[in-house]
Amino acid sequence: MGALFLLLFGWAIGKTLARVVRRVLERIGTDKLAERLSSIELFSKLPVKIKPSAAIAKFLYYVLFLISFMAAMDILQLDAVSQMINSVFAYLPKLVSALLVFIIGVVLADFLKRIVHTALASLNIPAASLIANFIFYFLFINVAMITLTQAGIATDFIQDNLSIILGGVVAAFAIGYGYASRPQVANFLAAYYNRGKIQIGSVIEIEGVKGEVVEIDNSSFTISNAQGKVIVPLNKLSTEKYTLFDGIGTGKL
């Protein structure tokens, strides 16, 4: 009778506290974390949407119910069941910490992905999305390995083989992309060193085109004359002969 009372008491307390905790978490905006995770491409396609407030409330309910269940088993002197539940409780801190590591790691990886994509796109670097996604998934795999280790799951074999695979992929990507991007890299380096040689309003003649410089960006400058506008890569200032004329142009060349 005492065991049954404890079970009913644990069930009632668990339900009540879970309901209160859920309302409090909803009020303080905990569910915004789920919206943040849903904005990540990796999770946006998942068919299941989890609300942190509901998940935490359910977790609290089951913890309280298990405590009352364990107490009931002690009254009934079912030591084997009590020991099993004790083992579950002993593992819970590892599980919770692993979950927190995973969530924080994924959010940070997505944050770095967005920063890299914005920076590369602003420099007009080709395949900015590809590079940003590569960095995200590289970080995600490492976060997943750390999460499994934190959860107490042996990952030595996976890590050893994954390190070899990732090393090969990174090397192949770096060599392939570096080779394919030689013209762009050369242009950016030339742009850095040649930017100060001209300014908006300068009159220049290069590759048979004479006109006034009306725009300069990260990789090119625009010449305007009577025939129209011509966009010239900044690296041409290093590879081609050009003439700068004294004074500021009028835009009517």
Q: What is the pLDDT of residue 105?
A: 86
Residue 176, Cα to own-chain centre: how many angstroms? 23
Q: What is the pLDDT of residue 173?
A: 65
Say whether pTM exceeds 0.75: no
Distance, CA of 203 to CA of 200 (rounded, Å): 9
The per-residue pLDDT for range 182-196, each reduced to its tens digit, is 666 666 666 666 667
Q: For residue 116, give the DSSP letter.
A: H
- Residues of the chain with pLDDT > 70, as a percent, come to 69
If one compares 226 and 239, the residue with the highest pLDDT of the two is 226
Q: What is the pLDDT of residue 236?
A: 81
Mean pLDDT of 186-210: 78
The per-residue pLDDT for range 73-112, each reduced to its tens digit, is 777 777 666 677 777 777 777 877 888 888 888 888 888 8
Side-chain-side CA neighbours of 27 within 13 Å: the count stands at 6
Q: Is the pLDDT of residue 208 over 50?
A: yes
Question: Residue 85 in contact with residue 31, Cβ under 8 Å?
Answer: no
Burial class (CB in 10 A: 0-12, 13-18, 19+), 88: middle
The per-residue pLDDT for range 142-178, each reduced to its tens digit, is 888 888 888 777 666 666 666 677 677 667 666 665 6
If one compares 126 and 198, the residue with the highest pLDDT of the two is 198
The per-residue pLDDT for range 13-24, each reduced to its tens digit, is 878 888 888 888
Q: What is the pLDDT of residue 251?
A: 39
Mean pLDDT of 24-42: 71
Q: What is the pLDDT of residue 61?
A: 82
Q: What is the pLDDT of residue 43?
A: 64
The per-residue pLDDT of the chain, averaged, comes to 76
Query: What DSSP letter does each residue of 169-204 carry, written as one string?
Result: HHHHHHHHHHHHTHHHHHHHHHHHHHGGG--TTEEE
Spatial CB neighbours of 4, under 8 Å, sequence gap ≥ 6: 72
Domain 198-248: give its CATH code. Answer: 2.30.30.60
- At 236 the three-state DSSP class reads helix
Q: What is the pLDDT of residue 34?
A: 66
Q: Is the pLDDT of residue 122 over 80?
A: no
Q: What is the pLDDT of residue 253?
A: 39
Which H helix or E strand runs over 82?
helix 79-122
Question: Taking CA 105 as the corner, what is the angle to CA 127 and CA 122, rounded to the nearest 5 degrees?
Answer: 30
Q: What is the pLDDT of residue 223?
A: 92
